[in-house]
Structure 1
């Protein structure tokens, strides 16, 4: 470790999580309450020995070159790492880490919140009352959809997918899933081919990583396979869904509704989505509990501290896929 390593933190982190790093060297924290622009990011990382990044920071060849050869570690405060160019970090011999595992429960809880909200029309009802629109209870007023005996199709059966399956089973749902691992034992769920899952599920919930294979996996053709009474939930990554195709299928009544926490061009939202009452929109809240965000930040700090002091990082080192 250099005598006084420079540690760059691209967004302010909660609590006192940075204290261990302040004992190690010079810690620079971005003063902005927003993501750094690409130019600002390249300038900020110059001379850095470590960078703590968030999901909105694109760490690529340009950033790594700007940092310089002394850079040893990039710690991503996220489970996903599609913002990291792992081929570039590997070529520069920079250790890359993420924060897996710590946001499983928070994201699974939010998935169920979106599912319940859109199927029971909670946000729609909230908007109606706040608007001052006259209303009165009757037998057919704002009917939603119950969950018992409905089929939930989970795309991506990792830790979050399994946590969602456990929660949905408690609501009496039948669980099926598709994952790259193929058929296997996944608790209360059984594996189906993706086309069959889309065609037979009452709710489709996305929990897969963003890769070249999953980008626009839910496109116009995939959406057309879904039931007209089905709902789509996305708490994974926005570009897994072709949002223009989603708007078109919702406008045509091809599916019943959607609950989204992530967006293709975040923070921008595809025109048309915000105008539809059968769409619930959340601003990337999957990990947004005090406990989870604090633990994510602390784990990123632990990864940096370990690498700079010559110890193995608590999180697995990220390597490029073949």
Structure 2
């Protein structure tokens, strides 16, 4: 069996070599000629996979080690009889921690306590639902907007109400162009114009969920808004002018924790086993690097209201990714430089573990309320 895979998928050999030969390629270079003699194709979000691309090949299984599937022609692949698998929820925790870091950064920039803000979450699936649970456990008021979910259960608000009442809006929807609730340009010029004064807007879902040109026009007129973009229209080609207007700009790395990537590989391995009727013989905990836990030391003298923020920043600080991204954009002399720089930042992304890998230690016993908040943020007890 021949497997063609994105070179950025971790633990490929450990999980997949038992099935046959593995060929690694840059995700954006995988095309029809690359898969002509392949039986399995494994990708991440940068590879567009259509039935036409696989026509004439031996590919019977396509797995994406990501939550999203908008880069896959699901209808065409199903019609061609090709099995498709994704990894729902694999990087949800990483995205939640990205959003928390954005909130900390915005709080510092504006002097507004992020824990007193009303957070509106659009999309209550794997990521949005987990973000809501985490924030509510931390005492933050949340409003959820998810039209498909609202047809099944109560507790949701519509988009207009969310825009009107939320101080913070975080987007966690798939990119869709059809159906009753398309999300492309969900935030068009009209929606963007209705953002509350001083609103914070975070998009870590898909770039075209927000009309980027309309957003740029808005930010040129309103300096009261705080915007964090991790995803962009036409990426890896990024509009440097829009990036310069954002408070935080990052290269589609919100869910790029090592833990999330590894979970994605494991989920696709399990799906491949099921497809071929093979026994699941490999477990992530048996082969993952750096198993165990890390220790974070924070002085007990740290004011209790700062301790959570200190711990979160020791694990992940979005401002580091923002700085690297802006440095790349500042050196780029062409669109080609931006495209290659965008991909290189992702390919050589620094090791990042999730909060659950760490235990927070202080030089004196912590109050129960503090340990409860740390646990709510995902830290080991």
2:84 counterpart of 1:74: no
CA distance in 1, matches of 2:278, 2:138: 47
TM-superposed deviation, 1:93: 0.3
CA spacing shift, 1:292–1:148, aligned 2, 3 Å: closer
Partner SS state of residue 226, structure 1: coil
2:241 counterpart of 1:272: yes
2:13 counterpart of 1:18: yes
TM-superposed deviation, 1:311: 7.8
2:272 counterpart of 1:304: yes
2:38 aligns with one of 16, 28, 48: 48
User: Normalising by the residue count of structure 2, what TM-score does the alignment of the two structures yield?
Assistant: 0.67
1:176 aligns with one of 123, 143, 148: 143
Aligned-pair Cα RMSD in Å: 2.2
CA distance in 2, matches of 1:18, 1:228: 51
Q: Which residue of 2 aligns with 1:132?
A: none
Contact 2:9 2:65 in 1 (8 A): no
Q: Which residue of 2 aligns with 1:102?
A: 90
Unaligned runs of 5+ in 1: 122-142, 313-322
Unaligned runs of 5+ in 2: 281-381
* 1:219-258 map, 5 Å: 219-253=188-222, 256-258=225-227
Partner SS state of residue 119, structure 2: strand
CA distance in 1, matches of 2:81, 2:279: 16
2:166 counterpart of 1:201: yes
Specify which structure has the higher proportion of helix: 2
Listed one character per residue, the Cα deviations across residues 245-283 of structure 1 (whole Å, up to 9, x for unaligned) are: 11111111175111111111112222422323x520122
2:105 counterpart of 1:117: yes
CA distance in 1, matches of 2:17, 2:233: 36
* 1:276-295 map, 5 Å: 276=245, 279-295=247-263
Listed one character per residue, the Cα deviations across residues 143-169 of structure 1 (whole Å, up to 9, x for unaligned) are: 432123321111111121122112323
CA spacing shift, 1:94–1:184, aligned 2, 3 Å: closer
Contact 2:9 2:44 in 1 (8 A): no
1:150 aligns with one of 94, 117, 124: 117
Q: Which residue of 1 aligns with 2:130?
A: 163
TM-superposed deviation, 1:49: 1.2
Listed one character per residue, the Cα deviations across residues 75-108 of structure 1 (whole Å, up to 9, x for unaligned) are: 0111000000011111110000100122121111
Q: Which has the higher contact order (CA 8 A, sep 6+)?
A: 1
CA distance in 1, matches of 2:190, 2:197: 14
Partner SS state of residue 133, structure 2: helix
Contact 1:202 1:231 in 2 (8 A): yes
User: Normalising by the residue count of structure 1, what TM-score does the alignment of the two structures yield?
Assistant: 0.79
Q: Which residue of 2 aligns with 1:36?
A: 28
CA distance in 2, matches of 1:103, 1:148: 24
